[in-house]
Amino acid sequence: MWNMKAITILGSKSDLPFMEPARQYFADNGIENEEVILSAHRDLPELIEYLQALDAAGTKAVLLCVAGLSAALPGVVVMNTQLPVIGVPVPCGPLNGIDALLAIAQLPGGVPATTVGLHSKAPLNAAQAAHRIIKFAQ
């Protein structure tokens, strides 16, 4: 048996308040979690290095990738790790997050990221989904 945790990857610190329900859910349910801010656009080398380090260390985790505007983060993450990825679209920008949702849901074959819906409860749904994966895996 191993310890599995949730890791939330945010492309911007401006997404921190949006993810508060997930943070609270993890705390309330005793789920080990961490948060990192690494943009697929501004911090790509660091993001890839971080993901490679997780894999090299044998980290067991579910990754929640917060996707605003272009929503590149979930796709970039899933292509650089074997860990399960849940995309969390943020309702922002001119299309109010529809572009983020579609960017995750329409990833091509062989790029197995999942997504939650586009609404204020998306962070909570993502945390609950991660919790189910963690419980099942242990």
**What's the pLDDT score for residue 138?**
74
Q: What is the mean pLDDT of the chain?
A: 94
For the chain, the domains span 5-137
Check whether 2 has a pLDDT greater than 70. no
Q: Enumerate the β-bridge partners of residue 85.
A: 63, 113
Structure tokens at 84: 């399960």
Structure tokens at 15: 């997404």
Torsion of CA 121, 117, 82, 3, to 10 degrees: 20
**What's the pLDDT score for residue 3?**
84
In the three-class reduction of DSSP (H, G, I as helix; E, B as strand; rest coil), residue 123 is classed as helix
Q: Indicate the fold that domain 5-137 takes in CATH.
A: Rossmann fold (3.40.50)
Q: What is the pLDDT of residues 95-104, one digit of tens each?
A: 999 999 999 9
What pLDDT band is residue 1 in, cutting at 50, 70 and 90?
very low
Q: What is the pLDDT of residues 79-134, one digit of tens each?
A: 999 999 999 999 999 999 999 999 999 999 989 999 999 999 999 999 999 999 99
Residue 32 is which amino acid?
A: E
3-state secondary structure 1-54: CCCCEEEEEECCHHHCCCCHHHHHHHHHCCCCEEEEECCCCCCHHHHHHHHHHH
Q: What is the pLDDT of residues 60-84, one digit of tens each?
A: 999 999 988 878 999 999 999 999 9
* Of 23 and 111, more confident: 23
